[in-house]
Amino acid sequence: MANSLKSTAFLMESRMQEAARGDADALYELGVAYSTGTHGIEVDLVEAHKWFNLAALNGSERGQESRAEIADEMSAREIAEAQRQARAWLAATGRRAAA
């Protein structure tokens, strides 16, 4: 169990580092982890929407599709919170959405 937690932490940390560099695949994979609960991550649709949104902003069509799919399961307030968190993440990492 401890090894599993360590590998999950390592995987998530490496994806976060790649995401901070604007890697659309890493952003998408974080969305998948939070939307499905893979890698031992607790399902969190707000967090998943945030990552899918960031992936979409960086050109990921899969991110756009997945964001739309989970938005159907979310309230307007949850979507607004996910968008706020995405903007905060962009500001915190000094990144801008891809043109």
pLDDT tens-place string over residues 27-65: 999 999 999 998 778 999 999 999 999 999 999 999 999
Asked if 14 and 25 count as a contact pair (C-beta separation under 8 A), the reply is no
Q: CA angle 78-72-51, nearest 5°?
A: 55
Examine the pLDDT at 99 and tell me if it is beyond 50. no
Q: Which two tokens stand for residue 2?
A: 């401890």
Examine the pLDDT at 97 and tell me if it is beyond 70. no
pTM for this model (two decimals): 0.87
Asked if 26 and 18 count as a contact pair (C-beta separation under 8 A), the reply is yes
**Chain position carrying tokens 């893979």:** 38
